[in-house]
Amino acid sequence: MRKTKVTANEPTIIERHNALFGQIEAAKTADDVRVLVEAVRGFIVSYKNVDKTMTKRIYEKLLNKVNDILTSIESVLVVSVIGNLDYTLQSVNGRGSKQ
């Protein structure tokens, strides 16, 4: 295993884990998550041999956040499509009743 020097200014694995976890929790948009992907990847690469539980937890947290955002986007799209269909049906019915 490769030895690395740890300086007093570098955050510990727990500090990095907690910071990433909080950033993932705070992410609200796909752009917010996109920014975090590289940080999560770096965390996993750095610590996968040190603490598999922490790396798995961060990975799952990011994956769940992505799924939540996709579900949210999907819901907005469905509501939008239904609204457009409703408007179209009202327009068609409105034209039909004027004749």
SS3 21: helix
pLDDT, position 86: 75
pLDDT, position 54: 93
Q: What is the pLDDT of residues 19-32, one digit of tens each?
A: 999 999 999 998 99
Q: What's the maximum distance between 2 C-alpha atoms anywhere in the chain? A: 84
pLDDT, position 97: 47
pLDDT greater than 50 at residue 61: yes
CB 13 within 8 A of CB 50: yes
pLDDT, position 24: 96
Read off the pLDDT of each residue in 60-77 and give the average, rounded to a whole number.
90
